[in-house]
Structure formats: C-alpha cells, structure tokens
Amino acid sequence: MTRFTSGHARLLAVGLGGATAIGLIAWAGADAIGEAVLRAGWILPGLVALHALQLLLSAVAWREAAGGGGPALAAWASIRWIREAVNSMLPVAQVGGLVVGVRLLGHRGVASATGGAGTTLDTIVEALAQLLFTLIGVVALAAISTDARWLARLGELVLVLAACGGGVLLARRAGAVGVGKRLILRLGARFPALPIGPLRRLSDEVLRLRTHHTALWRAGLWHMLAWLLGVVETWGTLAAIGWPVSLPAALVIESLGTAARSAGFAVPGALGVQEGGLVLVGGLLGVPPDAAVALSVMKRARELVVGLSGLLAWQWIEGRRLARRPVQ
C-alpha cells in the first residue's frame, strides 16, 4: 500500500486548487476574462514597478526588525525579492523563502542568528500589519456595503481578527520566546547529542531584538505602507480591465482578497483560493465574476514576472558563489 506523504498532499492541493481555478474561469466566462486581460495588458509593466516599490518597503521593514545593520538597503531589497520569488513560485509552504533569505544574508556578512531572529520578528510584524490591514478592509466594507445581511458576519470577523492580533501580542508579552529558550535548554540537558547551540543563539538574538520597540513599530509602519500600495494595484487594474471602482472599494477587495490568499498558504501559489476570494469579495461590491477573475489573472501575471526573474537572480548569485570556490 502506497504511503501518503507530504509530497502527495502538495500534489493533491495543486490539483484541487487548479480544478477550482479552471472551474471559476469556465463559470465566469473564459472569453470575457480573456478579453479583459488583453485589454488591461498594457498596465503589467506598471504593476511590476509598483510591486518593486512594495518589495523595497518590505526590505526596509525587514532591516529594521533585524536591528538596522548589515549590508546596504539594495542588498536587503534584492534578497527580499528572491525570498518572495521562492515562496510564490516553489511548493515550499511559505517557509523555503525565509530559509533562503537567511542564507543569502549570511553571504552578505549577517550572522545566522541575527538573520534568523530578524526574519522571525519580521514575519510576526508583517502578519500583525496584515491583520490590521484586513480589519481596515472589514470596516470599510461595513461602511460602503448596502447589504445588511453581511453586517452581523462582519462583526464576527472583526472579533476574530482582533482576537488573533491580541493573541500574538499577549504571547509576546507573556514571554513565549523565553519559554522556548527554556525548552531548548531542557532538551540540551536531556539529549546532549542534539545541536542546541545554534537554536540557543537564535533564541537569545530574538530576545535581544524584540526589545527594540521603536524599530519594530517602524517595521510595522513600512509593512502597512506596502500593503496599502496593493490597493493602488487593485484600483488601477480594475480600471484598466474596464470595471473601475472607488478607492474604498479597492481597499476592501485588496485587503480581504489578500487575507483569503494568506489563508490558503498550504496550497502552492494559493491556486484557486485567490480567485475564489476575489470573486466572493468582488461580488459584495458589485464586481462581476469575470472582472474579479481577470483581476486575479493580472496579479498572477505580475507574480510570474517578479517570481521567475527572482528565481533567476537567486540561481545567478548561487552560481557566482560556486564559481568563486577554490577547486579541492
């Protein structure tokens, strides 16, 4: 009997996600979606440029979370680009890019403990910023929606989001990292053969960096600005497609659509999840399914350009390092 492995789970997720995406395209109308995408094709270079600015802001936040030192900002930005490319283009469940990012920072002289701790804190701060961004989108939907049936559900969603954010902050206040350090020390005492040293250094560095409250607040602000730029992408893309919406409506679509994509992190590329989320949220604001799916296709086209070029940049960097190694 064949054993069900994580590889099989990823293939199943891709299959289900792909089937969902194809089903949505067929349901919304492939011809209408194709026409909308062709009509909006001219905006793709602008979307790529806008996303490059988002990556730059995220790189500034990452550097702040890691203590503000290390290489020049251009290096942080290029590594952030590669980090996203790995996460978006490869089936690594949003983790592989973080590992690659820490590795590339190490090549630039950043200690592995500092790089790992800074990346850990950066992901927490980014998640909190996204929770706030989603909450803003929920409030905006409540303000502009005329469908009273959604108000009760929106209230429930606000409570869930507030609970998630509060849970992270309480865990931080309660010293969750300190608990982790004590667990590491106990494991080291019980199993001397385990390589506890690197984990202990990582834990110590997280404890040190998390006391830099001002830097972490600045990192959160940079991440929030990056999320807000996504509103401009959605607003401009829908206008190019031929279905313009107001900026508040674009805020709702971007924030809740991005939240849906993040919830589908287990599916490589959130295939099918992103499309379904945009169709659902767009429907609340009168955006037809073909326009919502066309928006998703344009986002994926931008993601493909940024992701493939980022993977090529990563391989070029690794190839140069291998070429410099002395022959044994």
189 falls within a domain:
yes
4 falls within a domain:
no
Structure letter (DSSP) for residue 160: H
Return the number of other C-beta atoms located less than 10 Å from residue 125's C-beta: 25
**Chain Cα centroid distance, residue 269:** 11
12 falls within a domain:
no
Q: Is 111 helix (H, G, I), strand (E, B) or coil?
A: coil
Residue 302's alpha-carbon distances to 67, 179, 305, in angstroms, are: 31, 41, 5
Calculate Rg over the CA atoms of the chain.
21
Tokens 């429930």 correspond to 156
325 falls within a domain:
no
296 falls within a domain:
yes
Tokens describing residue 224: 């929030």
Identity (one letter) of the amino acid at 157?
L
Give the predicted TM-score (pTM) of the model: 0.82
Number of domains in the chain: 1
Give residue 178's domain range. 29-64+94-318
238 falls within a domain:
yes
**Chain Cα centroid distance, residue 118:** 16
Residue 135's alpha-carbon distances to 13, 45, 121, 141, 210, in angstroms, are: 28, 30, 21, 10, 24
Tokens describing residue 9: 């789970």
205 falls within a domain:
yes
19 falls within a domain:
no
Give the span between the Cα atoms of 73 and 61, in whole angstroms. 11
| Residue-by-residue pLDDT tens, the chain, 328 positions | 456 555 555 555 556 655 666 776 776 667 888 898 899 999 999 999 999 999 999 999 999 999 888 899 999 999 999 999 998 888 765 678 888 888 899 889 888 888 888 888 898 899 889 888 988 998 898 888 766 556 555 555 555 545 554 544 444 444 444 434 443 344 344 434 434 445 556 666 777 777 788 999 999 999 999 999 999 999 999 999 999 999 999 999 999 888 888 776 666 666 677 888 888 888 888 899 999 999 999 999 999 999 999 999 999 988 888 777 665 5
